[in-house]
Amino acid sequence: MSGVFRSIAHRLSGDERALPDEGRLPGFDRATAWINSEPLAPADLRGRVVLVDFWTYTCVNWLRTLPYLRAWHAKYAAAGLTVVGVHTPEFGFEGDLGNVTEHARRLGVEFPIVVDTGYGVWGDFANHYWPAVYLADAEGRIRFHHFGEGEYAMTEMAIQQLLVDAGATEVDLGLVAPETTGLEVAADWATLRSPETYLGYGQSSGFVSENSSLYDRAHVYTGSDRLPQNSWDLTGDWTLTRHASVLNEAGGRIAFAFHARDVNLVMAPSAARPAIPFRVYLDGQPVDTAQGSDVDGAGRGVLDSPNTYQLVRQHGAIADRVFEIEFLERGAEGYCFTFG
């Protein structure tokens, strides 16, 4: 689950009902692979404070926490903190080791990464969320956990306390304040009124042209003249699959009636179409100065890897708007809208 809630946190003396058995840090022996490190066993981590972070690289909620994870790794590693990122995929392409490795490099993730394609580590932690942080003391006891975004000061103070308890000296008790850009900028919670919305029938909601008899079949959708807020529709030749809406012919569009500062879309090109140009519109016009980090001022962009694309970032007052994306070649796969 991602994008459904903002934050749930438990302090050092907090509730242990959401913790793994006995409240102890599980091992990582069910990892599929490791990146940035040789496999780490509990014995390798003994005496160190360990922050375990569950993530998947397209999750915008996790992306907005990443600046703090990078900063904590840089600031506290020498004092005895080990950050371990557990990458458990939400979408099929996120289970590809090459994709995870490449996106970890692009995102500047330098701490050890457990690749958890089989959900084994996820299960050992009894975890249910992206992002999720579990903080263990030097004896391997989980002392703090936090689900979702935010509460960065609380989390960092918990790190500091456990480092001091473990005998670290000269721990800087100031708090990090990382600079953020693009998808890593915190959501504008005051104006955010649109939910994470999936575009495959397995989890979809708000699809105006929903018709279960058309699942997994090519169909030419005519689109809707008017969309209720937080609904979406297709125009053109698409196949609605369990996990995504897949475009069969050039010129297809996805429209969404939203209320938020940012519009992001998880999407991927088909193997046969490695680079698919697209255009983005707001209320039928090019986005102009409201473009996201993955489009230009004319609303043009290229879908060239499976990823989260920031398509709109508005400035000034936020109102009800209609977003559209048009793909100029076939082969685009749309998975999930998120907003910020």
pLDDT of 339 strictly over 90: yes
Residue reference for tokens 């489009």: 295
Calpha distance 248→263 (Å, rounded): 24
| Structure token digits, residue 76 | 């506290």
Calpha distance 340→335 (Å, rounded): 17
In a domain, 109, yes or no: yes
CATH code, domain with 222: 2.60.120.260
Helices (H) and strands (E) in the chain, counts: 6, 19
In a domain, 75, yes or no: yes
Calpha distance 336→204 (Å, rounded): 9
User: 29 and 153 share a domain?
Assistant: yes
| Structure token digits, residue 256 | 């969404």
According to DSSP, the β-strands at 81-87 and 113-115 are parallel
Phi, psi of 160 (to 5 degrees): -60, -45
In a domain, 2, yes or no: no
pLDDT in tens, 176-220: 999 999 999 999 999 999 999 999 999 999 999 999 999 999 999
In a domain, 24, yes or no: yes
In a domain, 191, yes or no: no
Predicted confidence at residue 5, as pLDDT, reads 42
In a domain, 327, yes or no: yes
CATH code, domain with 141: 3.40.30.10
If you write DSSP's letter for every residue of 228-297 in order, what string do you get? -TT-EEEEEEEEE-SS-EEE-STT-EEEEEE-SSEEEEEEEE-TT-S-EEEEEEETTEE-GGGB-TTS-T
In a domain, 309, yes or no: yes
User: 176 and 203 share a domain?
Assistant: no
pLDDT in tens, 268-286: 999 888 899 999 999 999 9
Return the higher-pLDDT residue of 92 and 10: 92
Predicted confidence at residue 21, as pLDDT, reads 58
User: 296 and 203 share a domain?
Assistant: yes
User: 172 and 235 share a domain?
Assistant: no
pLDDT in tens, 114-127: 999 999 999 999 99
pTM across the whole model? 0.92
What 10-17 contacts at long range (C-beta under 8 Å, 24+ apart), as own/partner pairs, is 10/144, 10/145, 10/146, 11/144, 11/154, 11/158, 12/143, 12/144, 12/158, 12/161, 12/162, 14/144, 14/145, 16/142
User: 12 and 102 share a domain?
Assistant: yes
Cis peptide before 131 (omega within 30 of 0): yes
User: 23 and 151 share a domain?
Assistant: yes
Q: How many domains does the chain have?
A: 2
pLDDT of 10 strictly over 70: no
Of the three residues 135, 160, 184, the one that is the final residue of a domain is 184
pLDDT of 240 strictly over 50: yes
Of the three residues 150, 184, 218, the one that is the final residue of a domain is 184
* Conformational region of residue 277, where left means phi above 0, alpha means psi within -120 to 50, and beta covers everything else: beta
Residue-level length of the chain: 340
User: 206 and 291 share a domain?
Assistant: yes
User: 167 and 242 share a domain?
Assistant: no
pLDDT in tens, 125-175: 999 999 999 999 999 999 999 999 999 999 999 999 999 999 999 999 999
User: 208 and 334 share a domain?
Assistant: yes
User: 127 and 227 share a domain?
Assistant: no
User: 63 and 202 share a domain?
Assistant: no
Q: What range does the domain containing 11 cover?
A: 7-184
User: 51 and 136 share a domain?
Assistant: yes
Running DSSP on this structure, what letter comes out for residue 58? T
Of the three residues 162, 184, 206, the one that is the final residue of a domain is 184
In a domain, 192, yes or no: no
pLDDT in tens, 84-103: 999 999 999 999 999 999 99
Residue type, 313: R
